[in-house]
Amino acid sequence: MNNREFVRRRHALMRLMGKGAVAILPAAPARLRNRDVEYPYRQDSDFQYLTGFAEPEAVLVLVPGREKGEFVLFCRDPDPTREIWDGKRAGPVGAMQDYAADEAFSINDIDEILPAIVEQCDRVYYTIGAHPEFDSKLIGWVTELRSRGGAHAPEEFIALDPLLHDLRLFKSRSEVSALKKSIRIAVDAHKRAMAYCQPGIHEYEL
């Protein structure tokens, strides 16, 4: 899927949010299978829907009307040694070049950069409870802002899920095309399985 589809989705979400808001969505974490071996990585469905970015340790930030750019992405820095084991990393430069981020920063700098973005907003769209570790960081940033004299802090926390999931119900032409292709593949697979099916055969044999 090309970047235009992801751009369309982000713009549709930001129109619903309106100016003065910020949406924050962390990527799915990597999961250990045993010791230092991880399960094959699967991105959070909402994160994938909005970015197409398939790496862990990333945070999507959308800020409608922000002068420096509405789509901000925090992600891992390139690391040639780790990439031997974990696969290639886009890095901040790749996030802008390949995923159309307006600005991209190292995930290591999120504590310095994201609170300043949040400080400019009145409403935070974020789903509490989905990412417990990040919940603590975000609440800590807002608490710090509220404790500082003269600092502005968001007045509302709004769950992102209902807004985003309602948006995902309405499919674009490219999404409908992808669904039709998926259905054709599934139908063909079932027909092939039915052709080999006979009394007494086990499911695993198909």
Q: Could you report the per-residue pLDDT of 172-191, keeping only the tens digit for each?
A: 898 999 999 999 999 999 99
- Environment class of residue 199 by beta-carbon count within 10 Å: exposed (0-12), middle (13-18) or buried (19+)? exposed
Give pLDDT tens digits for 142-172.
999 888 877 788 989 999 999 999 999 999 8
- Of the ranges 91-95, 105-109, 140-144, 151-155, which one carries the lowest mean pLDDT score? 151-155
119-146 burial code (b ≥16 CB/10 A, e <16) = bebebbbbbeebbeebeebbeebbeebe
| Cβ(76)–Cβ(58) below 8 Å | yes
CA angle 85, 89, 92 (to 5 degrees): 155
Q: Which of 39, 42, 38, 76 is nearest to 59 (CA)?
A: 76
**Mean predicted lDDT score pLDDT of the chain:** 93
According to the model, what pLDDT value does residue 196 have?
Answer: 86
As a whole number, mean pLDDT of residues 42-71 equals: 96
Reference 49, options 74, 13, 17; nearest CA is: 13
For residue 42, the model assigns a pLDDT of 95
Q: Is the distance from CB of 26 to CB of 131 less than 8 angstroms?
A: yes
203 confidence band (pLDDT: 50, 70, 90): confident
* 131 pLDDT higher than 80: yes
CA-to-CA distance for 101 and 141, rounded, in angstroms? 23
Give the model's pLDDT for residue 6.
Answer: 95
19 to each of 11, 12, 14, 101, 115, how far by Cα in Å? 12, 13, 8, 19, 17
User: Which contiguous run of DSSP H or E holds residue 176?
Assistant: helix 173-196
- pLDDT at 1 (0 to 100): 67
